[in-house]
Chains A and B, each alone.
Chain A
Amino acid sequence: MRKDAVKFGFLSPGLLYLMAMAVFPLVWSLTLSFYRWKAATAAPRTFVGFGNFLSIFFRDPRFWNSLRFTVLYVAIVVSIELSLGLLLAYILSERIRFRNFFRVLFLLPMAAPPIAVAFMWRMLLNPDAGIVVKILNALGFNMVRWLTDARFAPFVLMAVDIWEWTPFMFLGLLAAMQSLPVALYDAAQVDGASRGQAFWFITFPLLLPIMVTLILLRAIDAFKLFELVFGITGGGPGTSTESLSYYIYTVGFQYFDLGYACALSWVFLLIVLIMANFLLQRLRRGI
């Protein structure tokens, strides 16, 4: 009895706060998702049942396009960031000169506001005056093509994401490597294991669970990709860089088609939940 009071005493402040703040928005948006409500023109809302959801799945190529882009984006950036982060963390957990300097340096990009990052890169990548474009042009790459071609523009956006968020993976993995038991390595060295073997057979398996957590956290955030699109490409050329989040923003805050935007948001939530569940259940169990 007392124990119950204690445990709820610990849990309830946070949980109640979240519920209080989250319940109204969730109920509001779920209700609206069954209505057609073009709010900008002061038109009344009309009940359409599952109409919005049917439109999303069967008559909205833009939704599918943005979903495809977002999934591709998340898959690519998360895996590159993970590999780069792992490489850097591994190097910097060895005894190497200026280790602490590099450790600090490589953390910095993730601390910068994404909107500032987006504008800085927009400057660097400006087709006429951007320094990166000028340098790469001088080196013989046709950089302008990369920015204005629908097939390549997504990769430019991904590069910026990788710049900003590799530090997150690096941080998580470095922290984890710090706490690896030294005894195991000494034993491995005695057995004559090479550096590569030690990494693959000791470090990597031990790091797997944390990688899943990192992937999960990073994937959730990457899925919500908004600021970079907002600040750099505006979703173009064409719709080649329109993320799901940005599409919802367009429908909700440009068309003020609030019913449809809410329905899209719920579909978005379901997709992320499925993705998270897959990561948590399958991957964690597989380990």
Chain B
Amino acid sequence: MRQARKTDPFFVVAWVVLVLFSVWTVFPFFWGIVTSFKSPGEQYTTAFLPFAQFRPSTYAWQVVLGQAEGERTRQGLRNSVLISSLSSLLVLFLGSFAGYALTRFRFHGWKNKDIASWILSNRMFPPIAVAIPFFLVMRTLKLLDTLPAIVMAHTVYNLPLATWLMMDFFRELPEEVEEAALIDGCSPFQAFFRVAFPLSLPGIVAVYILCFIFSWNEFLFVVTLSYRKTMTMPVIIAGTLTVRGLDFWKVSALSLLAIAPPVVLAALTSRFLIRGLTLGAIKE
């Protein structure tokens, strides 16, 4: 019915906003793609129409994926995928448990609110201050330059956010369903796994994706805790800023490689993100 009102000024304004914002959003990506297909000699020109204005070259991609640095790039991508998916999984597991505990049970001494605030405060400390002590811990555990070290660090980094978001999902979930399950003879853990967890699945998927993205993008912990075997994409990108300067073509190609996986993931799962992240704002 609303669609019928084609002349509604709201839609005119809306379209203007949408078009402007699309240009704003897409332009950097677009320019990155164009630049990554230019030869180094043309990297600073304003040409943007392939074939018409410049001859597309795969030089950048050959450097980044080919013999020279291909090994490093592929390893970086592999590490990024492994670290992000594993740490997000761990976060999900620990976070949903903690979030469930804080919404379904009442704690004394330290009240629920205090515990929740303390958990969140772990995200407030500047990572720089934690980097060296983390390095010491990992060295003692003989975990430097291993995946577990970075997975552990990223779990600390993401757990507070995940716990908070989870609390909101479980708060929204009517308690009666689980109570019914308990009466049917389920243990509390069974009730959690069979009832609460599946019911809040869209939210849980959303949290997983968010944590994945945050972990994928994290830079300082990786730079401190890894040497060679566990470099992730952001660190490899940072390495392109050398004393020779910023090679536009190389940065573009590497950045696109680093941007693509989380962006594609976000695009594919945007439905879950939008439906899942209601953040428990509106009740009833």
Contacts and interface: CB of A to CB of B under 8 A. Distances in A.
Contact of A25 (B29, B100, B124, B134): B134
Contacts of A176: 278-279, 281-282
A282 interface: no
Interface of B is mostly: helix
A119 B128 contact: no
B119 A18 contact: yes
A7 interface: yes
Interface stretch (A52-60, A141-149, A247-255): A247-255
A102 B25 CA distance: 11
B56 to A, nearest CB: 17
Interface of A is mostly: helix
A158 interface: no
A178 B219 contact: no
A91 B10 CA distance: 9
B277 A172 contact: yes
A276 B240 contact: no
A126 to B, nearest CB: 8
B266 A120 contact: no
Interface string B247-280: 0100110110011001101110010011111111
Nearest to B261: A111
B192 A114 contact: no
Nearest to A268: B126
Contacts of A116: 233-234, 237, 254-255, 258-259
Contacts of A109: 25, 28
A104 to B, nearest CB: 5
B192 to A, nearest CB: 7
Interface in A201-239: 206-207, 209-210, 213-214, 217, 220, 223-224, 226-227, 231
A107 B279 contact: no
B105 A7 contact: yes
Interface residues of B, number: 102
B14 A91 contact: yes
The interface centre, meaning the residue of A10, A26, A91 with most chain B CB atoms within 10 A of its CB, is: A10
9 contacts: A7-B105, A18-B119, A91-B17, A104-B270, A113-B216, A116-B255, A171-B274, A206-B282, A265-B128
Given A113-B237, A210-B280, A269-B124, 7 more contacts: A25-B125, A112-B263, A115-B238, A119-B255, A120-B32, A123-B252, A248-B126
Interface of B: 2-3, 10-11, 14-15, 17-18, 21-22, 24-26, 28-29, 31-32, 35, 43-44, 46, 48, 93-95, 97-98, 100-102, 104-105, 107, 115, 117, 119-130, 132-134, 136-137, 152-153, 155-156, 159-161, 163-164, 168, 188-189, 192, 206, 213, 216-217, 219-220, 233-234, 237-238, 240-241, 246, 248, 251-252, 254-255, 258-259, 262-263, 265-267, 270, 273-282, 284
Interface of A: 3, 6-11, 13-15, 17-18, 21-22, 24-26, 28-29, 84, 87-88, 91, 94-96, 102-117, 119-124, 126, 128-129, 131, 134, 163, 171-172, 174-176, 178-181, 195, 206-207, 209-210, 213-214, 217, 220, 223-224, 226-227, 231, 244-245, 248-249, 252-253, 258, 261-262, 265, 268-269, 272-273, 276, 280
